[in-house]
A and B are shown apart, each in its own frame.
Chain A
């Protein structure tokens, strides 16, 4: 056997030792042997893969990954390391959890070195709860418990270490320390006075320490407790219950107010609707009244015309003329207006002739007031009646009756309307006379 073969054989020997240790869960021993094996011969793939598995088991995922990556590089085909790597990479949540775990352990180590042991214990407890097989975290936690004199907790942690890594030398040293310290404590505890004694018992992983017995000052403490209870009850009701009741009442009031507002809004809307209906109905009434008055006016109009017609037919031309004089012909329908004009012409012909005859009689008999009144009626109906004779004799009546202003006005109109007639010439002469007076 040459030197090379003997090195390979040595590597295999260490691998076998490591394998044996790993089977017995002596992981520290296994790691030590397997590291020697790969140092002898780096191409010992089985030893390297097993070393990675051991690292993985004690929570050192990065070291495990390192060994498997090297292993895969040395033997790319038919290598179980590839499967391990793939499994780790695929489980992202586990990688994140591991990362948190390691950060907590490193933080705890810093705290421990800085003297903040309580903080370190907190961090380590969290790390261990995330990975109960994290060997370094367990050992550091055990060491801190031992240093703080919390031997029961240290013992529990060291038992967990024992489950992960049997025969861990560090754990054995700590366990020995714990046993010695607990034995010493027990021997001291027996010497203590009974009155000073305390009872220590475990609740899960925590150790509870309480006085051995309780002193009972029965009556006074009962009274004090009752008073305290009453006061506390009063305070609770004052600070918790009363505000709640008030808040509830306020909320109720607010809800009712909102409801009332809603009702008012609804009724306002209804009222507005009714008001609109009332306005609309009032408008209809007004329209109806207007139509009614219009109809009544029309009715009276046609009644007057009808009366005039009846009077005319019965020969009472004066009454017919008077009736027609009261008619407002602007309100007549176009279709009816033609018939009306015909009737008016017939009536007025007769009526004005009668009036003119009466006016002339009054003028001749010097009944000037009556004459003026009659001539005025004639000129109102037909200003040019008798080719201006009615107007001329009205002016004459005014002049004789002493109403010079009206007379001059009418003379001027005659001059303008009938120039070069005897009436114009007479009008001019009388007008001059009146102006010269």
Chain B
């Protein structure tokens, strides 16, 4: 038996056309390679 209220919470409003620009700018683009680079920079700082 599904819980209607809980299921309803899963639905989010779709982005409208005028929100496209905002959606692009707010997109988090850091990937694992960026994280790796940050880790390496912090490690080299600690070694100094």
Contact = CB atoms under 8 A, between A and B. Distances in A.
Interface of A: 3-4, 7-8, 10-11, 38-43, 59-63, 65-66, 69-70, 95, 98-99, 102-103, 105-106, 109, 112-113, 136, 139-140, 143, 146-147, 170, 173-174, 177
Given A4-B36, A41-B32, A62 B13 contact: no
A7 B32 contact: yes
A95 to B, nearest CB: 6
B13 A109 contact: yes
Contacts of B34: 42
Interface in B1-48: 1-2, 4, 7-8, 10-11, 13-17, 19-20, 23-24, 27, 29-34, 36
B14 A66 contact: no
Interface of B: 1-2, 4, 7-8, 10-11, 13-17, 19-20, 23-24, 27, 29-34, 36
A62 B15 contact: yes
B16 A102 contact: yes
A189 to B, nearest CB: 20
B3 to A, nearest CB: 10
B8 A4 contact: no
Q: Determine chain A's interface SS by DSSP, over half rule.
A: helix
Nearest to B4: A147
Nearest to B25: A66
A147 B7 CA distance: 11
Contacts of A105: 13-14
Contacts of A39: 31-32
A355 B32 CA distance: 164
Given A66-B24, A69-B24, A106 B14 contact: yes
A66 B16 CA distance: 12
Given A39-B32, A41-B31, A63 B15 contact: yes
A98 B23 CA distance: 17
B17 A66 contact: no
A7 B33 contact: yes
A8 B36 CA distance: 12
Nearest to A146: B2
Q: Which 6 pairs between the two chains have the least Cβ-Cβ distance?
A: A62-B15, A42-B31, A106-B13, A102-B14, A7-B32, A99-B17
A112 B14 CA distance: 15
Contacts of A143: 2, 4, 7-8, 11
A169 B13 CA distance: 19
Given A40-B33, A62-B16, A98-B17, 14 more contacts: A11-B31, A41-B31, A41-B32, A41-B33, A42-B33, A62-B19, A63-B23, A102-B14, A102-B17, A105-B14, A109-B11, A140-B11, A146-B4, A147-B4
Nearest to B9: A113
B27 to A, nearest CB: 6
A4 B23 contact: no
Nearest to A180: B1
Contacts of B20: 62, 65-66
B44 to A, nearest CB: 15
B18 to A, nearest CB: 8
A80 B32 CA distance: 25
A39 B30 CA distance: 7
A39 B1 CA distance: 35
A177 B14 contact: no
B14 A60 contact: yes
B33 A4 contact: yes
Contact of B17 (A40, A62, A113): A62
A66 B1 contact: no
B24 A112 contact: no
A147 B42 CA distance: 54
A348 to B, nearest CB: 127
A62 B34 CA distance: 26
Contact of B11 (A3, A7, A139): A139
25 contacts: A3-B36, A8-B33, A11-B31, A38-B31, A40-B33, A41-B31, A42-B30, A42-B34, A62-B14, A62-B15, A62-B16, A63-B15, A65-B20, A66-B23, A66-B27, A70-B24, A98-B17, A102-B15, A105-B13, A105-B14, A109-B11, A136-B11, A143-B11, A146-B2, A174-B2
A171 to B, nearest CB: 12
Nearest to A137: B14
Contacts of B10: 170
Nearest to B37: A4
Contacts of A38: 31
